[in-house]
Structure 1
Amino acid sequence: MRLDQIAINSQCTAHRNLEEALDAYAAAGFRNVEPHLNLIRDWLQDGHTVGETRALFDSRGLRVVAGSQLEIVCFGSPDARLPNLKANVENARLIHELGGEVMIVGTDGPEQSSPEALGAVAYAVRELAETAEDTGIEIAIEFNWSPLVRSLRSAVRVAEMADHPRVGVLFDTAHYHVTPTKLSDIRPDSVRWIKHVHINDMPDIPADLTHRDFDRVLPGEGVLDLPEIISALETSGYEGYFSIELFNAELWHLAAEEAARCCYQSLLPLCEQR
Structure 2
Amino acid sequence: MRTEQLAIHSLTTKHRNLEEALEAYSTAGFRYVEPYLPLVKAWLEDGHTVEETRALLDSLGLRIIASSELAVECFHASDVLLPNLRANAENVRLISELGGSAMIVHTDGPELVTPESLDPIARALVDLAEATEETDVDIAVEFNASPVVRSLQSGVRVAEIADHPRVGVLFDTAHYHVTPTKLSDINSDSVKWVKHVHLNDMPNTPADLTHRDFDRVLPGEGVLDLAGIISALERNGYGGFFAIELFNAGLWQLPTKEAARRCYESLLPLCEG
Give me the TM-score of the superposition, normalised by structure 1: 0.98
> Is residue 73 of structure 2 the alignment partner of residue 73 of structure 1?
yes
Q: 1:71 Cα deviation (Å)?
A: 1.0
Kindly provide the CA deviation profile for residues 227-258 of structure 1, in whole angstroms up to 9, marking residues without a partner as x: 00001101011000000000001000000000
Q: 1:145 Cα deviation (Å)?
A: 0.9
Q: 1:210 Cα deviation (Å)?
A: 0.5
Task: Name 1:224's counterpart in structure 2.
Answer: 224
User: Following the alignment from structure 1 to structure 2, what is the Cα–Cα distance between the partners of residues 217 and 161?
Assistant: 34
Q: 1:79 Cα deviation (Å)?
A: 2.1
Q: 1:9 Cα deviation (Å)?
A: 0.5
Contact 1:168–1:193 (CA under 8 A) maintained in structure 2: yes
Kindly provide the CA deviation profile for residues 66-105 of structure 1, in whole angstroms up to 9, marking residues without a partner as x: 1111110011112211111111111101110000100000
Counting only pairs closer than 5 Å after superposition, residues 81-100 of structure 1 correspond to structure 2 as 81-100=81-100
Task: Name 2:179's counterpart in structure 1.
Answer: 179
Amino acid at match of 2:10: S
Task: Name 2:54's counterpart in structure 1.
Answer: 54
Q: 1:15 Cα deviation (Å)?
A: 4.4
Task: Name 1:33's counterpart in structure 2.
Answer: 33
Counting only pairs closer than 5 Å after superposition, residues 1-274 of structure 1 correspond to structure 2 as 1-272=1-272
User: Following the alignment from structure 2 to structure 1, what is the Cα–Cα distance between the partners of residues 78 and 240?
Assistant: 34
User: Following the alignment from structure 1 to structure 2, what is the Cα–Cα distance between the partners of residues 218 and 16?
Assistant: 22
Secondary structure at the aligned position of 1:190 is classed as helix
Count how many residue pairs are aligned between Structure 1 and Structure 2.
273
Contact 2:14–2:255 (CA under 8 A) maintained in structure 1: no
Amino acid at match of 2:224: L
User: Following the alignment from structure 2 to structure 1, what is the Cα–Cα distance between the partners of residues 173 and 107?
Assistant: 19
Percent sequence identity over aligned pairs? 69
Amino acid at match of 1:238: Y
Secondary structure at the aligned position of 2:271 is classed as helix
Structure 2 residue ranges without an equivalent (≥5): none
Give me the TM-score of the superposition, normalised by structure 2: 0.99
Amino acid at match of 1:70: L
Structure 1 residue ranges without an equivalent (≥5): none
Amino acid at match of 1:196: H
Kindly provide the CA deviation profile for residues 166-210 of structure 1, in whole angstroms up to 9, marking residues without a partner as x: 000000000000001010100001000000000000001100001
Contact 1:21–1:256 (CA under 8 A) maintained in structure 2: yes
Q: 1:38 Cα deviation (Å)?
A: 0.9
Contact 2:70–2:106 (CA under 8 A) maintained in structure 1: yes
Greater displacement, 46-55 / 251-260: 46-55
Runs of 4+ with deviation above 2 angstroms: none
Contact 1:16–1:256 (CA under 8 A) maintained in structure 2: no
User: Following the alignment from structure 2 to structure 1, what is the Cα–Cα distance between the partners of residues 95 and 76?
Assistant: 27
User: Following the alignment from structure 2 to structure 1, what is the Cα–Cα distance between the partners of residues 22 and 226?
Assistant: 27
User: Following the alignment from structure 2 to structure 1, what is the Cα–Cα distance between the partners of residues 246 and 198?
Assistant: 9
Contact 2:36–2:69 (CA under 8 A) maintained in structure 1: yes
Contact 2:15–2:256 (CA under 8 A) maintained in structure 1: no
Amino acid at match of 1:42: A
User: Following the alignment from structure 1 to structure 2, what is the Cα–Cα distance between the partners of residues 53 and 110?
Assistant: 39
Secondary structure at the aligned position of 1:134 is classed as coil
Q: 1:14 Cα deviation (Å)?
A: 3.0
User: Following the alignment from structure 1 to structure 2, what is the Cα–Cα distance between the partners of residues 123 and 248?
Assistant: 35
Contact 1:202–1:223 (CA under 8 A) maintained in structure 2: yes
Secondary structure at the aligned position of 1:16 is classed as coil
